[in-house]
Every structure is written in structure tokens, then in C-alpha cells.
């Protein structure tokens, strides 16, 4: 999908409080079939980063939390299974910092860095069959352990399954389940993508894809003695540069707004409204593939 879901972090507040130049090309095809085609046995490396600002109202007080995260990972193609690509993913480095009214909380990534898992990617960019990822977890203070591979449930932009020309659109629909920190959350997301044009970026000939998306989320779980139920809506926009002649994603930027309401019951009953804005960037940083 075009939306990058990077570890929801929906209830951090509750827990603590209660880029390169592009240019348009002229030599472009009138119609093109966009497909993910990883270079055989050639490792591709990426950088995934995000900045998030979340404001919630807890018992009449406004609480702000800022989160910064980054991850560097590599993909090693492991052959094909039918039309799908098998890849091995290795997390080379990872960082997560949360700034809140009581100070800064940094994640312990000892159980993440250097770990690998496998997954499949369809020609249109559907992530499937993640294996060996269940125990790749980081520790986040009182929040406990969270899965570091949630980001890979929808990391690559979805492409059209039919040949497209400039101006053509296609729709996508995704259901994404995330778990961790005592919460289980389901996202249902509808997207509309458009082939916006062609451009040269970082020396690669690229298809420029602009996607808008809307969705809903529902979650429930426990935090200490509290029972939590969360619902909300999300919307956003994503711009992707896809190296069309090589078959891999080069760069994408996403901007997301998430509005939630959390009902908490237990020793205290309260309703916590919140608004979260995020910007995320996925950038290709190198491989053995020639331009």
C-alpha cells in the first residue's frame, strides 16, 4: 500500500500521562507496466525514518508526545515463487526516541539490530508471508516489548496491476493488523493512486506516483489495570518515485493524520481524544544494481 504504517504507538500518551533534486523527462513511454523486479542476488539497502507529533487530552490536560524513529535495512532477493519475489530482510540499525512531559524514552534495540526474516512481495507490491519476524522485538521502558517488523506489513507502494499511462488511476484496499504493548489494532485503508508523470531522480528513470488514502482503525487491549478500546480515522498522501526500468522503489514520502478516541476503564474511567500527525520517508541508499 502507499501508506507506511510504522508501529502505531497509539497509547504512548496514556502510558506516560495517567530529498534529492528531480527533473521531468521528455523521453517517456505512453503506457507502462509497473512491476517490482529485484535484481537477482544483488542486495538493496534502504533508510526508513519518521517523525510524529501526538496531542491528547487526558483528564482535561493537553499532553504532547514527539517520536523520532529510523531504521536501516537491506533486502536480499532469494529467487521467485511463481510471480512473487522471495526476499530476506536484515535490520542493520534501528533507533526510536519518544519525548514526553516526563522526559525522553529510548528503545532498547538489542533484540533487533542484525536480525533477519523472510517475506514475499508480489509484482504489484503486496507484502506477504512474513516468517521469522515474531521474535524481532525491542523494549520500550514501561510499554514493554513491541515488534520491530510492523513497519514491513505495508512498506512498499502498491502499483497498478494493469499497464498505465500518465493520468491513469487505480484503487487499493488493505487490512493491516498490528500487535504489541498490550494492544491489538486493525487498520482498514482505501487508497487511490495516480501515475503523475515520469522523472529522473538520483540518476534513475522513475515513474512518479501520487496516492491519497483514507482509513479506519479499531483496537483493544490492556495497560496495567486499565482496559482500553480505541477507534479512529486516518487520511494521508504519499508521493513515490519508482525506478520503472529497474523494478524497485527508489523513494517515497508519506504524510498522515490520525484522529483517535480511546475509552479507558478500570480504577478510573476516562475518554481520551487524540490527534497524531506523521511524516515518513523511505529512501533507497544503494545496491549492486546498475543505473
**CATH number of the domain encompassing residue 158:** 2.30.230
- pLDDT at residue number 144: 83
Domain span at residue 41 reads: 12-286
Instruction: Note whether residue 3 is domain-resident.
Output: no
Distance CA 228, CA 230 (A): 7
pLDDT of residue 29: 63
In a domain, 107, yes or no: yes
Q: Is residue 7 part of a domain?
A: no
- Look at residue 215 in the predicted model and tell me its pLDDT: 96
Q: What angle do CA 273, 274, 277 make, to 5 degrees?
A: 160
Which pLDDT belongs to residue 58? Answer: 87
The whole-angstrom separation of Cα 71 and Cα 45 is 11
Q: Is 101 a member of any domain?
A: yes
Query: What length is written for the chain?
Result: 291
- For residue 78, what pLDDT is reported? 94
DSSP-based three-state secondary structure for 143? helix
Is residue 206 domain-resident?
yes
Q: Do residues 85 and 36 make contact, with C-beta atoms less than 8 angstroms apart?
A: yes
**Residue 148 domain-assigned?**
yes
- Kindly give the parts of the chain with pLDDT less than 50: 1-3, 5-26, 289-291
- Give the chain's end-to-end CA distance (angstroms, integer): 25
Number of domains into which the chain is organized = 1
Q: Beta strand pairing status for 127-131 and 137-139?
A: unpaired
Q: Does 5 fall in a domain?
A: no
Instruction: Please indicate, yes or no, if residue 96 is contained in any of the structural domains.
Output: yes
Cell (9 digits) for 205: 528513470
Contact between residue 1 and residue 174 where contact means Cβ atoms under 8 Å apart: yes
Amino acid at each position: 500500500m502507499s501508506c507506511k504504517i510504522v508501529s502505531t504507538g497509539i497509547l504512548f500518551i496514556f502510558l506516560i500521562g495517567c530529498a534529492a533534486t528531480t527533473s521531468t523527462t521528455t523521453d517517456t513511454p505512453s503506457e507502462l507496466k509497473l512491476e517490482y523486479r529485484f535484481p537477482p542476488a544483488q542486495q538493496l539497502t534502504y533508510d526508513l525514518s519518521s517523525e510524529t507529533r501526538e496531542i491528547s487530552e487526558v483528564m482535561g490536560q493537553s499532553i504532547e508526545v514527539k517520536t523520532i524513529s529510523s531504521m536501516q535495512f537491506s533486502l536480499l532477493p532469494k529467487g521467485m515463487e511463481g510471480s512473487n519475489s522471495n526476499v530476506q530482510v536484515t535490520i542493520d540499525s534501528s533507533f526510536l526516541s519518544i519525548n514526553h512531559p516526563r522526559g525522553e524514552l529510548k528503545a532498547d534495540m538489542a533484540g533487533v539490530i542484525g536480525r533477519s526474516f523472510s517475506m514475499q512481495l508480489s509484482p504489484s507490491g503486496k507484502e506477504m508471508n512474513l516468517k521469522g519476524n515474531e521474535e524481532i522485538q525491542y523494549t520500550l521502558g514501561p510499554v514493554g516489548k513491541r515488534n520491530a517488523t510492523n513497519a514491513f506489513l505495508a512498506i512498499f507502494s502498491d502499483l497498478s496491476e494493469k499497464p498505465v499511462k500518465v493520468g491513469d488511476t487505480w484503487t487499493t484496499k488493505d487490512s493491516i493488523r498490528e500487535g504489541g504493548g498490550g494492544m491489538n489494532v486493525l487498520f482498514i485503508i482505501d487508497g487511490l493512486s495516480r501515475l503523475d508523470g515520469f522523472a529522473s531522480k538520483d540518476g534513475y528513470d522513475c515513474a512518479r506516483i501520487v496516492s491519497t488514502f483514507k482509513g479506519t482503525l479499531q483496537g483493544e487491549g490492556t495497560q496495567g489495570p486499565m482496559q482500553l478500546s480505541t477507534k479512529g480515522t486516518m487520511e494521508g498522501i504519499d508521493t513515490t518515485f519508482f525506478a520503472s526500468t529497474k523494478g524497485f522503489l527508489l523513494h517515497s514520502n508519506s504524510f498522515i493524520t490520525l484522529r483517535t478516541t480511546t475509552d479507558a476503564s478500570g480504577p478510573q474511567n476516562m475518554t481520551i481524544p487524540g490527534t497524531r500527525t506523521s511524516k515518513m520517508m523511505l529512501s533507497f541508499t544503494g545496491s549492486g544494481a546498475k543505473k
